[in-house]
Structure 1
Amino acid sequence: MTSLRRRLTGRLRSARRSPYPVTVRRGLRVPMDDGVDLVADLYLPRGPVEPPLPTVVIRSPYGRHGSLTDAPALAGEGFTVLVQSCRGTGGSGGTFRPQLDEQRDGMATHRWVRRQQWFTGTVATYGESYLGYTQWAVAGRMCRDDPANAPDALCLNVTMADFGAVTWTNGVFSLGGSLGWSRLMALRGMRGALVRARLARRPDRKLAEAVDVLPLSHGDTAVAGHPIGWYQDWLAHEQLTDDYWTRQSHTASVPDVTAPVYMATGWYDMFLPWQLRTYAQLVAAGRPPRLTIGPWGHRTDQSPFLAESIAFLKEHFAGVPAGRPAPVRAFLTGARQWHDLPAWPPPGTAVRRWYLHRSGLLDPARPGGGGTRYTYDPDRPTPALGGPGLGPSCGPVDNSAHERRTDLVVFRSPPLEHAVVLAGEPIARVRFRSTAASADVFVRICDVHPDGRSMSVCDGIRRIGGVGAAVADPRPGEDGFVELDVPLWPAYHRFAAGHRIAVQVSSGAHPRYARNPGTGEPAATATTTVRAQQEISHDGAHPSAIDLPVWT
């Protein structure tokens, strides 16, 4: 049975077990402030619901089907649910411009909902990925400027408040996710839904060919047969300080959210670092959310998001205890255990610095100097292996064969005498230089088992010398080395006694991230490639190291 069918079957079974039969009114027209109508479906539980539960607003660019929105299951639990297609999608008027119209359309929708006869008195928002972004787009702004119409609770899964930050990750274009999502969105409608489901089950040949196209600005034509407007915009705006990106970022308004928040995510989700940073923003504002982090990626059948959202909302609005012993519930990879924690990262976490040695050793002792070199060839880019992404197959991957490549280097600790638990966001501090005008530094942590398997834990990337990274580039020293901080994905992982910690350093993970041609030209138009000699320094006042947040 396919993942999509399993998910749909699970939702239908949940709906059958639900206490309320459901009536659906389809094709409601919701007027926007500019005169455009957006189409919505309304799910109504039949029979009195006491005490009244909130009206749930879900805004989606993927259609209004119950298997993608959870609307039937939510309504079956007593929630009135409005599922609306975003502008330019699912029969709604206007043109779909990802992210750009969600704040104004979302605010108009919330005001409209509160004027309807079926409105239950409070509003909750719900959804994952882009459906979560539509929640961030309105929540902080309305809590600050229009509290009478603001949402009363948010349920957010595998999402973030600023999609620009993941599109250009530390100056590097997230090619696989950006081009893959653009291809799928170009196949909208019923045929598109079937095509999307089919592509999710098998390799996408067109996409596999398109990610190798240079310049990058020709990739959308290669994959879809025509230019895709937003994809061209993403490439043309390489700097996240451009107005194009800042006006669709809602990170600054996160602390303005006064409504209770539940969020779920996975250790292998592409949005994980930014979702945990929004969690930290709310904690700093004195409004810590309820948080679940599990052993999954962006798309999964394992997430308890639906069940935990229902419990969260019923606890807040109906006084039904959720039975949750702690605010944070996190899965410890490497030990395969769920832990209930008071906060994330857990109290008692401290940074431990491990140095990269010329000999290939990873050790807390300072290195004796020297350098480690490797060659990066953008015409034969270092391939991506696992890591976070949009697909359903995210998770730990054995890197033992990958680590024998000559375009990366590996540093390994001795076998651990005692278990080490990583709990937080590691930061690699690499003293680095390149013969190319621009270069990427990709760092990955692996758990090396006694049998030789080197299983991926987390990774991260950063560019120097690129258009988008120039503002944050460190200044090189007289010897040409820069001291570069590379943040890695957050992790909660136990390295067992007898295992070793490995740190890989390379200059790419293609096509998850677009290859760096090396010239420093704009990413959208660059076609010339430069073979580069890369060097990691183990010398100086700040030799290359990695800071590991260790839970004791």
Structure 2
Amino acid sequence: MGSNSWRQAEEWPLPGTRITDYYLHNTHKANSINGDGRLDTLHPADEYPDVYVYHPSIPVPALGGRSGAVPDLTPMGPKNQIPVELRNDVLVYTSEPLTKGLTVIGEVVAVLFVSSSAEDTDFVAKLVDVHPDGRAFNVAEGILRVSYRNGLERREPIVPGEVMELHLSLGPTAIVFLPGHAIRLDVTSSLFPTFDRNPNRLLNPGEVTEEDFVTATQTLFHDNNYPSRLKLPIIGE
């Protein structure tokens, strides 16, 4: 994508792949596109964490992406993410516009240091290509139900307020971020109806009703001790 071309290789990951960390930053807060969340290769120092509230009664809607739930309601593919990035329960981190093209081929991973007030919750990470005119198109996305953070064999409740290191795979992609474009990471706690809403409780999803829903206060840390970051597989730089 981006260059609209095909590439072939005999190995995966591609030879010469360099995993580069893009760290999350803010000055005040990264809530919504109106915040000041930033993404760059500088390791964070002392920074305030970002906080948002997730309630499953008002989930963040899926806008493009994998879909697979109700195609008429959530059509698949690239869609402008601005409507969801206007929400305060979406954290938005954006790089400076690129001076030259950046080729990303391979698995994209978000490493997030987080805490929650709930006994279980979800975290969603989305890689976005920001065009010079401000349009922002989804490239890859991933979700993690935190009670499965140590494997699918058994669920483990969250200790409220405890900082956890989460690794969210956004899956493999292949894109050239063109000159003048910017790289963006969105973080939130729902992607509905592509994925079911987490009630923020350690319950069987098939038995959950709206009466079970509770509010979760989510905290995302990005400082010297907790360097939350986006790991990009970069080719040829």
TM-score of the superposed pair, with normalisation by structure 2: 0.85
Q: Which amino acid aligns with 2:225?
A: A
Whose strand proportion is higher, 1 or 2?
A: 2
Kept in 2: contact 1:371–1:537 (CA 8 A): yes
Secondary structure at the counterpart of residue 401 of structure 1 = helix
Kept in 2: contact 1:356–1:411 (CA 8 A): yes
CA distance in structure 1 between the aligned counterparts of 2:214 and 2:80, rounded to whole angstroms: 30
**Greater Rg by CA:** 1
Q: Which amino acid aligns with 2:131?
A: H
Ranked by relative contact order (alpha carbons within 8 Å, sequence separation 6 or more), the top structure is 2
Report the counterpart of residue 343 of structure 1 in structure 2: 11
Report the counterpart of residue 541 of structure 1 in structure 2: 225
Cα RMSD (Å) of the superposition? Answer: 2.3
Report the counterpart of residue 31 of structure 2 in structure 1: none
Kept in 1: contact 2:104–2:173 (CA 8 A): yes
Secondary structure at the counterpart of residue 85 of structure 2 = helix
Aligned residues: 219
Q: Which amino acid aligns with 2:94?
A: R
Kept in 1: contact 2:146–2:158 (CA 8 A): no
For residues 40-189 of structure 1, what are the structure 2 equivalents within 5 Å? none
Choose from 183, 198, 210 the match for 1:516: 198
Q: 2:43 matched to 1:366?
A: yes
Q: Gaps (5+ residues) in structure 2?
A: 28-36
Measure how far apart 1:375 and its partner are.
1.1
Tell me: CA distance 1:437–1:469, structure 2 relative to 1, closer, same or farther (3 Å).
Answer: farther
Measure how far apart 1:475 and its partner are.
8.0
Measure how far apart 1:543 and its partner are.
1.6
Kept in 1: contact 2:80–2:135 (CA 8 A): yes
Tell me: CA distance 1:496–1:536, structure 2 relative to 1, closer, same or farther (3 Å).
Answer: same
Kept in 2: contact 1:367–1:538 (CA 8 A): yes
Report the counterpart of residue 380 of structure 1 in structure 2: 58
Measure how far apart 1:470 and its partner are.
7.3
Kept in 2: contact 1:349–1:550 (CA 8 A): yes
Tell me: CA distance 1:475–1:541, structure 2 relative to 1, closer, same or farther (3 Å).
Answer: farther
Choose from 435, 439, 447 the match for 2:117: 435
Tell me: CA distance 1:483–1:466, structure 2 relative to 1, closer, same or farther (3 Å).
Answer: closer
Tell which deviates more after alignment, 389-398 or 484-493. Answer: 389-398
Tell me: CA distance 1:466–1:342, structure 2 relative to 1, closer, same or farther (3 Å).
Answer: closer
Kept in 2: contact 1:466–1:520 (CA 8 A): no
Choose from 338, 342, 357 the match for 2:25: 357
Kept in 2: contact 1:355–1:546 (CA 8 A): yes
Q: 2:208 matched to 1:526?
A: yes
CA distance in structure 1 between the aligned counterparts of 2:184 and 2:20, rounded to whole angstroms: 15
Tell me: CA distance 1:439–1:502, structure 2 relative to 1, closer, same or farther (3 Å).
Answer: same
CA distance in structure 1 between the aligned counterparts of 2:188 and 2:87, rounded to whole angstroms: 10
Measure how far apart 1:506 and its partner are.
0.3
Measure how far apart 1:451 and its partner are.
0.3
CA distance in structure 2 between the aligned counterparts of 1:473 and 1:547, rounded to whole angstroms: 26
Whose helix proportion is higher, 1 or 2?
A: 1
Q: Which amino acid aligns with 2:64?
A: G
Tell me: CA distance 1:416–1:395, structure 2 relative to 1, closer, same or farther (3 Å).
Answer: same
Measure how far apart 1:505 and its partner are.
0.1
Secondary structure at the counterpart of residue 58 of structure 2 = coil
Q: 2:140 matched to 1:458?
A: yes
CA distance in structure 2 between the aligned counterparts of 1:376 and 1:470, rounded to whole angstroms: 26
Q: 2:76 matched to 1:394?
A: yes
Q: Gaps (5+ residues) in structure 1?
A: 1-332
Secondary structure at the counterpart of residue 426 of structure 1 = strand
Q: 2:91 matched to 1:409?
A: yes
For residues 135-284 of structure 1, what are the structure 2 equivalents within 5 Å? none
Kept in 2: contact 1:474–1:483 (CA 8 A): no
